[in-house]
Amino acid sequence: MLYIALALFVGLPAKQAPNRIALPSGVVGVSFGTAQRYKDTGGKDMCGIAQPLADPPVFGRDVLELSYGVQLEPGAVKSASTQVIAPAEQGYLQRTPCNSFAPVKGGFSQTLLGSTIARLDKKPMQSGAYILRITVDGQTADVPFTIR
């Protein structure tokens, strides 16, 4: 079931960040889009990006929320985090995590680090240039995206 959820979140083959951006070792790809939320057979909340945006990722005007997923190489990453850097006038964004883990001998390995972000007041997000900052095992990369 976990692999089905992971496949749904990743959607079609992962959209790589533009070639000019060097992703940290252990990052397989980055996807942006709109998450669809559902419950698995056990009632656990799940989410997935069924239709990832093309590169460079551009969200339309009046978008209320957006999602990203950073696909990690199983068993290769010890620590990973993400941060969305928004234009100053955007204000605070609410973040709902959507992470996946795959079973491995001796424990669990994180294979997907993702979130859905939205404004607290439920209004459309501010137009402008945003950055998804990815930090994996001490290496950092900034992946830009835009809201029209």
Given a contact cutoff of 8 angstroms between Cβ atoms, the answer to whether 31 and 116 are in contact is no
Q: What's the mean pLDDT when you consider all of the chain?
A: 83
Distances (CA, A) of 1 to 5, 75, 90, 101, 110: 6, 19, 37, 11, 16
pLDDT tens digits along 6-39? 444 444 344 444 456 899 999 999 999 998 877 7
* pLDDT above 50 for 63: yes
Q: Which domain holds residue 43?
A: 2-147
CA distance 133 to 114: 12
* CATH code of the domain containing 107: 2.60.40.10
Contacts of 122 (CB under 8 A, 6+ apart): 64
Look up the pTM and report it.
0.81
Beta strands at 93-97 and 139-147: parallel, antiparallel or unpaired: unpaired
Residue 2, pLDDT score? 42
Domain count across the chain: 1
